[in-house]
Amino acid sequence: MRRQVCLILLFFHWVLPVHAADWKVVQIAGRDYLSMRNIAQFYNLEDVRETDKEVMAKSGVRSLRAIKGSAEFFINNLKFILSYPAEQHDGDLCVSRMDLVKLIEPVMRPSRIKNAPPVETVVLDAGHGGHDNGAAGAYGPEKAFALDVVMRAKALLQGAGLKVVLTRDSDYFVPLDERVRIANRQKNAIFISMHFNHGGEGTGVEAYTLAPRGVPSMMADGPRVSDLVECAGNVRDAENMALATASHAALVVKTRMYDRGLKRARFVVIRDIKIPGVLLEGGFQSSRFDSKMIATPLYRQTLAQAILAAVENYRKAVGSQPANRTLPQRNPDPEPAGRPSKPAPIDPPGSS
């Protein structure tokens, strides 16, 4: 299993036939869905296995797995959290078209992302600072550990020939909008924000990417009108997902911590930036196990190495563009009911 998760860091550049799959879009509760069998056909995953609870589609080490009624979804054994749970329809387990376009496609074929800028600069954002301690822990505040990881990652990234910009380099407070301004001043750059979690005896690592327009934030109690407003960062939805995948995979592989999944949110620092961005959670300050790990220089160095691996693999992933294949038609408005059931093919995510 760990070998398969490791391989996701390579983002599998394989040759696909040029003809498009015959997309069969179905409506469930007014939202577009496609069957796992249909999706497996598109990505040439020939071995499809079904049970009462889940569908696994695979070819060699590449795989997709959906669970009935669950938002948990696995790509090459790495956990993702869908925008909408997988649903049963006429005997088929189906995944929303939004999740196909905004999640599965940029993960499975990151080299198809058009106009992704080259990465010459990495903006590292150490969460909190100054009077804002962040999550309290038995061995120190979140702000101190986040800064230490960022300084270690800076040294590794500079050693790899990359320019590094910090939103803070010592213990002082930086407003969220200033962090955004720092990021938006950079060209050919990506943004990585380092944090640590808090909440009971929760454990493990997770990553957050910006929720696409029309998708509820996983950190909110439910849908909001603001979900329909396009944020500045949504112009980079495909790059955001590819960067978050590279980052989350690197965290899971390097730390060997519990995989809490790649999630969506509208945190200010990933919502308002105009460069690809991701927010990382490196463990729980409130966990007896995690907090002991976080307090060790060795673990924080491991997190820094994960950031380096994430940047390197993201750069490789978006570096080439193979032959065209098309996804089902996207609507101009997010998921309205009653759209035609026969979509016309269009360009993949990131093309506009």
pLDDT tens, residue by residue, 42-82: 999 999 999 999 999 999 999 999 999 999 999 999 999 99
Distance in angstroms (rounded) separating the CA atoms of residues 304 and 147: 11
- Across 98-107, 108-117, 221-230, the highest mean pLDDT is recorded for 98-107
Tens-place pLDDT, residues 274-297: 999 999 999 999 999 999 999 999
pLDDT (0 to 100) of residue 22:
82
Structural contact between residues 259 and 253, judged by C-beta atoms closer than 8 angstroms: no
pLDDT (0 to 100) of residue 228:
76
Q: Which long-range contacts (CB under 8 A, 24 or more apart) does 230-234 make?
A: 231/266, 231/271, 231/272, 232/271, 232/272, 232/273, 232/274, 233/270, 233/271, 233/272, 233/273, 233/274, 233/277, 234/210
Distance in angstroms (rounded) separating the CA atoms of residues 131 and 202: 25
Structural contact between residues 65 and 47, judged by C-beta atoms closer than 8 angstroms: no
Phi, psi dihedrals of residue 207, rounded to the nearest 5°: -135, 150
Domain ranges of the chain: 2-98, 121-316
3-state secondary structure of 115: coil
Interval 332-344 mean pLDDT: 32
3-state secondary structure of 162: coil
Six-digit token string for 345: 């093919």
pLDDT (0 to 100) of residue 326:
67
CATH-assigned architecture of domain 2-98: 2-Layer Sandwich (3.30)
Interval 85-105 mean pLDDT: 96
What is the C-alpha end-to-end distance of the chain, expressed in Å?
A: 36
pLDDT-based confidence at 137, cuts 50/70/90? Answer: very high
Taking alpha carbons only, the member of 69, 61, 59 closest to residue 16 is 59
User: What value does the CA radius of gyration of the chain take, rounded to a whole number of Å?
Assistant: 20
Contacts of residue 175, Cβ cutoff 8 Å, sequence gap at least 6:
none
- CATH number of this structure's domain 121-316, picked from the four choices 3.30.470.20, 3.40.630.40, 3.10.20.90, 3.20.20.80: 3.40.630.40
Global confidence as pTM: 0.86
Distance in angstroms (rounded) separating the CA atoms of residues 199 and 136: 10
pLDDT (0 to 100) of residue 330:
52
Interval 141-165 mean pLDDT: 98
